[in-house]
Amino acid sequence: MYTTDLSGKQQADKIAEDPALVAAFEARVANDDFIEPKDWMPEAYRKTLVRQISQHAHSEIVGMLPEGNWITRAPNLRRKAILLAKVQDEGGHGLYLYCAAETLGTSRQQMIEALHSGKAKYSTIFNYPTLTWADIGAIGWLVDGAAIMNQVPLQRTSYGPYARAMVRICKEESFHQRQGYEIMMALCAGTKDQKRMAQDALDRWWWPSLMMFGPPDDNSPNTAQSIRWRIKRETNDELRQKFVDVTVPQAEAIGLKVPDPALSWNDARGHYDFGDIDWDEFYAVVRGEGLVAKERMTARIQAWEDGAWVREAAQAHAMKREAAKLAAE
């Protein structure tokens, strides 16, 4: 596991796992206090956070790629401007999240290296291709919709910097969700071919969107502990159910059919029942066997290398300013 750099901290850790410190930490979490970067925390809590926050950051950054492919092909100037702004927002989300993870003692460099070497995960959803313009609508509606469902509770996650980053991210994601749904509405109100494109996008993105919430609770190794630490506020299955419940009526409202023959409203439960998710597909994508996994990483590494001159220029500028400040003192 690449996560937190423990070098030079072994001694501190021995003291750190003092039961009195653990009890005080747990009492604060139980009291819904935020844990802040300088507070003592169990090493396993720190590692879990670095894992989740860095994976989240990588997802935002890799998530720019499927939509970025369509900036030059957006159907008009208005759609192009909106898509540009959305992709830029995702980049911003990645940056807030990398900053939040850095407060836990892992450098940005380590996290980026872990992504590029294939050690770090990012959301399975971004290993599916965007074949038509309707896919941009489906991503906004379903992928951002799933992201919000997962992220709203994270505004109350127990680690302060992560919770605060989520506030702005959620506001922007909800805007993204609406723009995606609006693209789908326009396509569904258009020609027969446009409506067919919208249905085809829903058919391809529905199941991968349900997979975004992670494995079922009885097969999720991290959920129970993360719920105890109040890192996660709701389980994978609870969030997936909420997503299905709000999204199905949205599909029906624009005349689209969710591609699940087992989908039906269950009056007794007050929820939709839905069909089995193909978990073999999910685990294959997690293992790096997604349809466009290789393309995504190649594009990501290329962008990183192409941007080297920007990072160098920014660093040279910062050093120049620092030198000027020192000279003036």
Please give the residue ranges that form the binding site for ligand FAQ (CB under 6 A): 51-52, 55-56, 59-60, 63, 90, 121, 123-124, 139, 143-144, 147, 150, 211-215, 220-223, 226, 232, 236, 286
Q: Name the residue nearer to ligand FAQ (CB basis): 5 or 322.
A: 5
Task: Return d(Cα 221, Cα 288) in angstroms, integer.
Answer: 20
Q: Name the residue nearer to ligand FAQ (CB basis): 176 or 195.
A: 176
At closest approach, how far in Å is the CB of 51 from ligand FAQ? 5
| Contact in structure between 77 and 46 (CB atoms under 8 Å) | no
At closest approach, how far in Å is the CB of 55 from ligand FAQ? 5
At closest approach, how far in Å is the CB of 180 from ligand FAQ? 9
Q: Name the residue nearer to ligand FAQ (CB basis): 143 or 165.
A: 143
| Contact in structure between 300 and 62 (CB atoms under 8 Å) | yes
Q: Name the residue nearer to ligand FAQ (CB basis): 161 or 214.
A: 214
Task: Return d(Cα 50, Cα 106) in angstroms, integer.
Answer: 8
Q: Name the residue nearer to ligand FAQ (CB basis): 86 or 195.
A: 86
Tokens of 212: 């975004």
Task: Return d(Cα 90, Cα 94) in angstroms, integer.
Answer: 6
At closest approach, how far in Å is the CB of 329 from ligand FAQ? 44
205 conformational bin, left if phi > 0, alpha if psi -120 to 50, beta if neither? alpha
At closest approach, how far in Å is the CB of 261 from ligand FAQ? 24
Give Cα separations from 124 to 92, 143, 185, 251, 303 (angstroms). Answer: 20, 11, 26, 23, 20
